[in-house]
Amino acid sequence: MDKRESNYEIMKHQMQTQFAAYDMDAVCREWQLERKNGAPQLTLLDRRYWIDPQSGAVLWEKDGTVLEADYNVSMTVFDLLTRSRQTASGEMTSINGLSTVHTATAPTGGFFDRTARRFSNRCELLSAACERLGGVHYGKGDVAYMLPVFRDLQIAIQFWDCDDEFPPELSFLCDKNILRFMYFETMMFLLCHVADRITELCDEMEREGLNEH
């Protein structure tokens, strides 16, 4: 029996089809993207992706195997590249501080609680993962980094580890212009990708034996 696609996969593939209908030459000119064998290339959170010009799929390679990007990455890329080129402000703000947040419901505290618990007592690994992604120290927290995302667009991560009184806390700061690059909902897809990518790197380094001393 064929495995049924999830609603997320169905939505992603619908958006792929719509994106494939775009003028890829115009997309590349607008965002100054390089092409390889006709496929537009871009870097998102220190990982190289390319777009299949026939299907619109966002692809990447791991250990010699070509993979299709997940929902969060694909939807972020589709939203980014179907807009005119934007410039980041370089000023960071909380999610609730975004000037147009009234157009969508801002998440309440605790959205990333599960991820925060996975980082608990792993500050050294978390710092190493952020640095592998090109992060530089920024702001306050037991771990706090500014991470390059796309072009000049950056996101800051701030993590406070648990103690006897408080659970671990994870928060993100976004560029004040981020909603010019993408919808609010897409921003949340991007933040989930950032959290997943950092978690993945922490787990990989732990398996490699680079755990805290």
pLDDT digits (tens, 9 = 90+) for 16-44: 999 999 999 999 999 999 999 999 999 99
Is the CB of residue 170 less than 8 Å from the CB of residue 158?
yes
- The residue out of 61, 81, 101 marking a domain boundary is 81
Amino acid 108: pLDDT: 47
- Residue 147 sits in the same domain as residue 200: yes
pLDDT at 1 over 60: no
Residue 86 within a domain: no
Domain count, the chain: 2
How much is the pLDDT for 213?
41
Same domain, 58 and 139: no
Q: Over the chain, what is the mean pLDDT?
A: 90
Q: Is the Cα dihedral 147, 95, 191, 43 positive or negative? A: negative
Residues 101 and 71 in one domain: no
65-70 mean pLDDT: 97
**Residue 64, domain extent:** 7-81
Widest CA span of the chain, in angstroms? 56
pLDDT tens by residue, 99-146: 555 455 555 456 788 899 989 999 999 999 999 999 999 989 999 999
- Same domain as 117, residue 58: no
106 and 161, same structural domain?
A: yes
- On whether both 97 and 49 belong to a single domain, the answer is no
Query: Are 139 and 48 members of one domain?
Result: no
